[in-house]
Each structure stands twice: as C-alpha cells, then as structure tokens.
Amino acid sequence: MKRLFCFLEVDVVKLILLTITILSLVAGSGGLCYAVPFTDIVDFSGTDTYGTRTYLELDGRGSPYEFFYSHSIDFTPPAQSISSATLTFSHKGNSANPGEAWFITDTGSFFLGTLGNSTISGDWVDQPFDLSSLLGGISGTNWTIQLRLYENTSGTDRLWIDKSVVTGEYDPVTTPDNPIPEPATMLLLGSGLIGLAGFKGRFRKNN
C-alpha cells in the first residue's frame, strides 16, 4: 500500500510540474500572437520544358532589359504584421560575368540582389532572397509585391526562369472570430490543472 501511495504522489507531482512549465512558457511569451504561414507561387511557362520544369526564356535584348511580375498574398485571418518573408527564385542561364549578370529589385527599385551563376547546361538554381526590408507597415488582408528582373548589357543574354515562390509568417489580427490564446486564459487552465492534481491526490489517499 505504501508503494501505491508513492506512485500516486509521483503522478501528481508530474502533473504539477507540467503545469508550471506551461505557465512559464506563456509568461515568457509576453502574450505574442501565434504565427500563421503563407505561400504564393508564380509559375513561369511559355517557352519550353527542361526535365520536369517548364520555363520562360528572357532574351535580354535591349539595355537595360526589364521583365516585371508580381506576387499577391491573401491573409486569412487578416495580418497585423508580417514577421518574415523569403523569395526563392528558380533560374538557369545567368552568367558569372558581372557585366552580364541579371538583377532583381522591387518596382520601387529596392535592390534584392544579383542572380547567382546558373549555366544553361547546368542544374536549376533555386536562389533565396530575404524580403525583411520590405515588410514594414504591411498589414490587412492582402500584400502585393511587384518585382523587376533586369540586366544592363546590349547583347542577347538568355535567362530561363521557372518559378518564383514567396514564403513567410505573419501575426494575425485578434478579432471575436479569431481569438488568440492569451496568458490569462492559459493561467486559468493551469490553475485548473493544479486543482485537479490536488483533488486527485486527496481522492486517492482517501481510498
């Protein structure tokens, strides 16, 4: 019987320790909203297929040569703020020669970067670009980002583009239809668990 009581006491202690851990995590979070992931894909096609991928070829004629496209992300529930976003651009045919390289910006001319070396005969390059510098002040139900690919030489520098993918996370707006777990709610839950543990211990000892 004594060994049984010891087992029951350990069970109660485990439940209390679990509750304390949950409460500590909630207290440390400061009531932050949960993050919601998002993804938007632009799939380029119209020229040919290479392996399993379809692609669009940009011939680079003109100085500078420019190609525009956009991503549009719908937020459900609405966004309070965007915490992170990355653009992954898939391409082949960009030259290692800086004078013939292709670049990418948003249409406000914010420079995102230079496309990495990707020969036509080589593998597709899936190149990431950090969009964190474009996220300030973005909120609501939609975010549209317009992008510009360009190169500055007058020759024909072919670039094959397969797809552009924007991924990230955002903090949603709290509404009656979209409640966010807050520390007070978690504290109430934790108190209930501790009370249950005490009741469980007394009940077992009485038996």
* pLDDT tens-digit readout, 166-201: 999 999 997 666 555 554 444 455 555 555 555 555
In this structure, are 62 and 146 located in the same domain? yes
DSSP-assigned states of every residue in 39-56: EEEEE--SSEEETTEEEE
- The better pLDDT of the pair 91, 51 is held by 91
Lowest-pLDDT choice from 29-43, 67-81, 178-192: 178-192
pLDDT of residue 104: 95
- Residue type for position 116: G
In this structure, are 53 and 145 located in the same domain? yes
Going from the C-alpha of 98 to that of each of 28, 33, 94, 113, the distances in angstroms are 48, 44, 10, 12
In this structure, are 141 and 80 located in the same domain? yes
Over the chain, what is the mean pLDDT? 79
Please say whether the beta carbons of 172 and 178 come within 8 A: yes
| Rounded CA separation 71/39 (Å) | 10
In this structure, are 143 and 93 located in the same domain? yes
Number of domains in the chain: 2
DSSP-assigned states of every residue in 64-109: SEEEEEEEEEEEEEEEEEEEEEEEEEEEE-B-SSGGG--EEEETT-
In this structure, are 97 and 16 located in the same domain? no
Which segments of 114-207 does DSSP mark as H helices, in order? 183-206
Is residue 177 included in any domain, yes or no?
no
CA 20 to chain centre: 31
pLDDT of residue 121: 87
| Closest of 111, 120, 112, 117 to residue 97, by C-alpha | 117
In this prediction the pTM is 0.70
pLDDT of residue 98: 65
In this structure, are 128 and 72 located in the same domain? yes
In this structure, are 60 and 145 located in the same domain? yes
In this structure, are 151 and 71 located in the same domain? yes
Largest Cα separation within the chain, whole Å, is 91
In this structure, are 119 and 158 located in the same domain? yes
pLDDT of residue 20: 59
Give the count of beta carbons closer than 10 Å to the beta carbon of residue 201.
18
- The better pLDDT of the pair 15, 171 is held by 171
User: pLDDT by residue (tens digit) across 93-123?
Assistant: 998 676 778 999 998 779 999 999 998 888 9
pLDDT at 131 over 90: yes
**Alpha-carbon dihedral angle through residues 111, 113, 119, 122, given to the nearest 10 degrees:** -140
Is residue 167 included in any domain, yes or no?
yes
Q: Which percentage of the chain shows pLDDT scores above 90?
A: 51
* Domain at 71, CATH number: 2.60.120
Lowest-pLDDT choice from 82-91, 161-170, 187-196: 187-196
In this structure, are 67 and 152 located in the same domain? yes
| Rounded CA separation 180/20 (Å) | 21
Whether the bond into 64 is cis, omega within 30 of 0: yes
Please say whether the beta carbons of 146 and 134 come within 8 A: no
| Rounded CA separation 51/168 (Å) | 28
Q: Which domain covers residue 115, as residue numbers?
A: 36-172
